[in-house]
Structure 1
Amino acid sequence: MHAGEPPKDYEELIRLIHERHDQMSKTYQKISVFLTQNPNDVAVQSVNAIAERCGIHASSFVRFAQALGYRGFKELQALFQKRLATAAPGFEARVKALETELHTSRDRSETGFLSELVVRDIASLQELLKDIRPEDLTLAAQLLHQADTIYLIGQLRSLPVVQLMRYQLTMIGKRCILLDSAAGFSTYISRTITPRDVLMAVSFRFYAKEVVDIVEEVGARGIDIVAISDSTLSPLAKTARVLFPVPEHDYTFSRSLAAPMCLAQALVVSVAARVQYNNTAPRIPTVTGI
């Protein structure tokens, strides 16, 4: 990264980070992801507190800011503080407010663990509702509805999201194929995807290599991709026609799928409304017997 005239506002800064991300060091890429996913927290926390959360030395944040043309991190942070004046509360603020309301803070019992997860999921869902753009939902639903076949791919902890989508899409009569890595044929099957189809991809850090490779290969052929990932800096963002960034926040045990699951179901319900010509109360049939 080479210093130049520094961005004058938050939006320009984020654009510059996206432009330079691929050429950044691993440390700077990690800093970039944190800045883009946690803008409200960046505005109010000290550089030492931010560095501790990232597991990176504070001096790296200073050098990162200088590489973008700022004198130091405080000058970069001022853009986040200006943005915060009109922004909604950040994730951590939502969590604290919910903990206060539900009186679950510092409870280390089994019920306390449950409460902590519920509080964080509620905050994630609130953030999802605030951040997802309606026009992206509409375009994604249209692409999925118009596709001859919807191909689904997700591995590791992303797999449950696409498995649920396969079940629901199948039940509303939409042809879909899960690119299952178990048999080792995912890459070869993905090469049968045509321009009349759509690839639905889900992947979070640390991104499954096969998913990233397939998305890049399919995207290079001009095929529409709808993706759910954790950041606009995700490798899926480069080729996705529609990207839904669902930021992931620190959990004591694991990262929750509540928000991406909710988003995936919203997409399927939107497709169901189009398939059934029913915008009022679309239904996803369920299996009641064998």
Structure 2
Amino acid sequence: MTAQKPPADYEGLIRLIHDRHDQMSKTYQRISVYLTQNPNDVAVHSVNAIAERCGIHASSFVRFAQSLGYRGFKELQALFQRRLATAAPGFEARVKALESELDTTGERGEMANLSELVVRDIASLQGLLEDVAEADLALAADLIFKADTVYLLGQMRSAPVADLLRYVLTMLGKRCILLDPAGGLSTYVARTISERDLLMAVSFRFYAKEVVNIAEELGERGIDIVAITDSTLSPLAKSARVLFAVPEHDYTFSRSLAAPMCLAQALTVSVAARIQQDKSPRIPTVTGT
């Protein structure tokens, strides 16, 4: 156990976790991500319940707390409980409230599966309103608007978000280039990006290695990066000028892209408002023939 006095408030704890995250073991990093993504749930559940959700033994949570200077997990948890007094409801609380309001509980079946996904998406979207800062939205929109070229990067499950950004920005007449992994040229094309350009990187667990490497290389060169990811502990965080952390929550079948897609659309609407000099912009669409 370290002799250093541990942080006495939630904000100090989160700063300490961020400072130490890269040097932590893989298990402690997983614990860190859960704590930072689910602060309200950490406040109300027992260490055994939290450990079960993470698939990590409860004793590891106790040792994690001690490694930060606390006597045990309960002392660390007290910081989350004090924060909860003024915090908005957590993800699971929003889900339960929505289930009650929409009467979605019952036997499993096709409609039950649909209802569960819809309720969880609504809860994620509500969280988006609480977690995203207006100043970050404005700065990201300014960077996109002013960039000579916007380079878009997202692979595997993140690819649809990058594709949506490419579609809308292209329709707005904004020059953008998708760093497509096909052909293995993404890394080399990224090296042609200049300081007048912008990289928009999208990546969620388990972070695509090429996306992380490109973001780190461009960050070291001083290129502006707007990142959409799942945690402030994401490997994209240290390179991003603007970071949008959209927490992911385990779904029955998969993790949804509803919140990241909504965020991407909000950014493009803000860019459209700047291009068209209109607070209620219209985004052109392609019509079929």
Question: Shared fold by TM > 0.5?
Answer: yes
Shift in Å, 1:2: 4.1
Hey, what does 1:50 align to over in structure 2?
50
Counterpart of 2:236 in 1: which secondary structure?
Answer: helix
Q: Distance in 2 between the 1:199 and 1:158 partners?
A: 15
Hey, what does 1:289 align to over in structure 2?
288
Q: Distance in 1 between the 2:79 and 2:207 partners?
A: 30
Give 1:102-141 correspondences, 5 Å limit: 102-141=102-141
Counterpart of 1:87 in 2: which secondary structure?
Answer: coil
Hey, what does 1:13 align to over in structure 2?
13
Hey, what does 1:278 align to over in structure 2?
278
Aligned letter for 1:32?
S
Counterpart of 1:97 in 2: which secondary structure?
Answer: helix
Hey, what does 1:180 align to over in structure 2?
180
Q: Is the 8 A contact 1:121 1:258 kept in 2?
A: yes
Shift in Å, 1:234: 0.2
Give 1:83-94 correspondences, 5 Å limit: 83-94=83-94
Q: Distance in 1 between the 2:88 and 2:182 partners?
A: 42
> Deviation string for 1:215-263 (max 9, x for gaps)?
0001110000000000000000011000000000010110000000000
Q: Is there any run of 5+ residues in structure 2 with no aligned partner, and where?
A: none
Counterpart of 1:104 in 2: which secondary structure?
Answer: coil
Q: Distance in 2 between the 1:129 and 1:85 partners?
A: 19
Count the aligned residue pairs. 289
Hey, what does 2:60 align to over in structure 1?
60
Aligned letter for 1:29?
Q
Q: Distance in 1 between the 2:153 and 2:283 partners?
A: 21
Shift in Å, 1:107: 3.3
Shift in Å, 1:289: 3.0
Q: Is the 8 A contact 1:3 1:66 kept in 2?
A: no
Q: Distance in 2 between the 1:106 and 1:46 partners?
A: 27
Hey, what does 2:22 align to over in structure 1?
22
**The 10-residue stretch of structure 1 (33-42 or 2-11) with the greater mean CA deviation from structure 2:** 2-11
Counterpart of 2:227 in 1: which secondary structure?
Answer: strand
Q: Distance in 1 between the 2:94 and 2:159 partners?
A: 28
Hey, what does 1:220 align to over in structure 2?
220
Q: Distance in 2 between the 1:105 and 1:8 partners?
A: 40
Counterpart of 1:235 in 2: which secondary structure?
Answer: coil
Q: Distance in 2 between the 1:2 and 1:285 partners?
A: 58
Post-superposition, which runs of at least 4 consecutive aligned residues in structure 1 deviate over 4 A?
none
Percent sequence identity over aligned pairs = 79
Q: Is there any run of 5+ residues in structure 1 with no aligned partner, and where?
A: none
Q: Distance in 1 between the 2:236 and 2:9 partners?
A: 26
Aligned letter for 2:83?
R
